[in-house]
Structure 1
Amino acid sequence: TKHDVKFPLDSTGSELKQKIHSITGLPPAMQKVMYKGLVPEDKTLREIKVTSGAKIMVVGSTINDVLAVNTPKDAAQQDAKAEENKKEPLCRQKQHRKVLDKGKPEDVMPSVKGAQERLPAVPLSGMYNKSGGKVRLTFKLEQDQLWIGTKERTEKLPMGSIKNVVSEPIEGHEDYHMMAFQLGPTEASYYWVYWVPTQYVDAIKDTVLGKWQYF
């Protein structure tokens, strides 16, 4: 859209934005005003050599445009789906179900329901990871590391690199938990471990997240 505007040359770029706002409804903060480059807000039009009859280009968005871009139509559906996933117990979600349906590992460690114990001196073993392979957890406190061992390899993770630890009792086997170690910024980085004896859950979280005083 083209507008013919009369405006004093001794006005600043900031004042010009206010004028454009009154004509177009574009908020000043959402305007890009260009004349041989971006027009500085603190300089006058005379200083940047604007002359009578000059063409000044304005690019901008209204608040509604911005909201429309940031709120796609299916965002509400995505939110509803995320909410639904939150309500559904983790152990019923498909990715976890396929591991849990294998049943309890034959060498799973015994659990003590309703108890809280310190970590044992030996590695925690007899658990599955998300691909259904056997996994053991070794807490190397003197090195401040968690070792996650599988048949193929052992990952040595500094405790400080683990962002969070989440867990949930396994439905129908509440004396065991499924647990995830968050290794990156998002949930996609969760390393899942299944069939963790319930009495060690708090000790694992406290050890990894550094809450020594609870021991």
Structure 2
Amino acid sequence: MLSSRDNMESEKSDISENCDPNSVPSAEKTAQPTEELDCENAKKPNKAEIKTIDECMETELGKVNEERVDFKVVFNKSKYDITFGWDKTIKELKLHLEDIIGVVQNAQKIMIKGMAKDEMTLRTAGIISGCKVMVVGSKMNDILAVTSVKQQFAADEKSLGSTSTKEPLCEQKIHRKVLDKGVPPDAMPGILGTKEPLPPVPLSGMLNKHGGKVRLTFKLELDQVWVGTKERTEKLALTSIKGITSEPIKGHEQYHIMALQLGPTDASRYWIYWVPAQYLDAIKEAILDKWQLF
């Protein structure tokens, strides 16, 4: 009689003899083709995808490494703490400020030792940590109100122009009585054929229609220009000035006669004499340029 151990060994032997070694693939033989198939079918990134990934990484690294500057923006007597990229442009800063101060980008003027140009970076414009930056501009409702007034003024001017004289201003009797006194001894030097930004000090040494001394102080952070005489200082809102008339003084073309239009008629003009020619465009830009887009 066979022992149970002998029976088990006999069964194992029978199974080994009856089993076809080629009928059941081993795990080792089965896994290999699967691994090879996965490698062949795996999606390889194309050059465009690799480039996109690289650009994204560069963009993210740029954001991390971007040099930023902290400063204050002053608008309508309110102050705002701003942190912005030092190498971003003034135009980008204006867009950033739209929602903060409620003034559209094209109606903003950034003042840093004069008006900063859109293409300048904050660095080249002179913005440094802790400095104050003045923003001049008006909100859309104010712009629309002034535009309506200016259109009415233009219509009134057209009507007046049909009856007004073509005689040069400097030859009209009303102006001759001031001009015949000659250039004031304390007049600021006039320069012909050049344009300069507004100086950091008031424009002085000019005369009004009574022959009295007059000076102009531009308070752009308040949207005002102060017209000062010996007797008093008149603080005019820039939006109250509907237009500017000017003309070179014959024989002294480096100076101009200039009038601030405060109403619809000739009687509403505030005349100023011996305005240096190089500042005329800057004066017009400071007062009127914000409305030209509209």
TM-score norm. by structure 1 comes to 0.59
Question: Aligned equivalents of 2:250 and 2:178: distance in 1?
Answer: 13
Distance 1:212 1:189, change over 3 A: closer
> Within 5 A, what are the aligned runs for 1:156-195?
156-195=235-274
For residues 134 and 159 of structure 1, what CA distance do their matches in structure 2 show? Answer: 21
CA RMSD of aligned residues (A): 2.0
Looking at structure 1, the residues matched to 230 and 203 of structure 2 have their Cα atoms a distance apart, in angstroms, of: 14
Q: Does 1:206 align with 2:261?
A: no
Write the letter of the residue equivalent to 1:82: T
Deviations 1:142-196 (A, max 9, x none): 0010100000000000000001011000010001000000111212100000000
Over the matched positions of the two proteins, sequence identity in percent amounts to 68
2:211 to 132, 148, 151: 132
Alignment partners' CA distance in 1, 2:161 and 2:276: 33
- Count, aligned residues: 133
**Matched residue SS, 1:155:** strand
Q: Whose radius of gyration is greater, 1 or 2?
A: 2
Amino acid at match of 2:185: E
Q: Conserved in 2, the CA contact under 8 Å of 1:127 and 1:134? A: yes
Residues 114 and 212 of structure 1, relative CA distance in 2, 3 Å threshold: farther
The Cα of 1:88 is off from its aligned counterpart by 1.0
After superposition, the C-alpha distances for 1:10-51 in whole angstroms (9 at most, x for unaligned) are: xxxxxxxxxxxxxxxxxxxxxxxxxxxxxxxxxxxxxxxxxx
Q: Which residue of 2 aligns with 1:101?
A: 180
The CA deviation string for residues 110-146 of structure 1, in whole angstroms up to 9 with x for no partner, is 1111000100010000000000000000000100101
Q: Which residue of 1 aligns with 2:163?
A: 82
In structure 1, what is the Cα distance between the partners aligned to 2:231 and 2:213? 10
- In proportion to residue count, which structure has more helix? 2
Indicate how the Cα distance of structure 1 residues 144 and 88 shifts in structure 2: closer, same or farther if over 3 A, else same.
same
CA distance, structure 2, for counterparts of residue 101 and residue 211 of structure 1: 36
State the partner residue of 2:189. 110
In structure 1, the partner of 2:156 is none
Task: Tell me the equivalent position of 2:224.
Answer: 145
Against the structure 1 CA distance between its residues 193 and 80, is the aligned structure 2 distance closer, same or farther, given a 3 Å change threshold?
closer
Q: Specify the alignment match of 1:92 in structure 2.
A: 171
Are the aligned partners of 1:147 and 1:156 in contact in 2 as well (CA < 8 Å)? yes
Find the aligned partners of 1:148 and 1:193 in 2 and give their Cα distance.
Answer: 10
Shift of 1:81: 9.0
Distance 1:130 1:112, change over 3 A: same
TM-score, normalisation: structure 2: 0.43
1:210 Cα offset (Å):
3.1
The residue identity in structure 2 corresponding to 1:91 is: C
**How many Å apart are 1:82 and its aligned residue?**
3.1
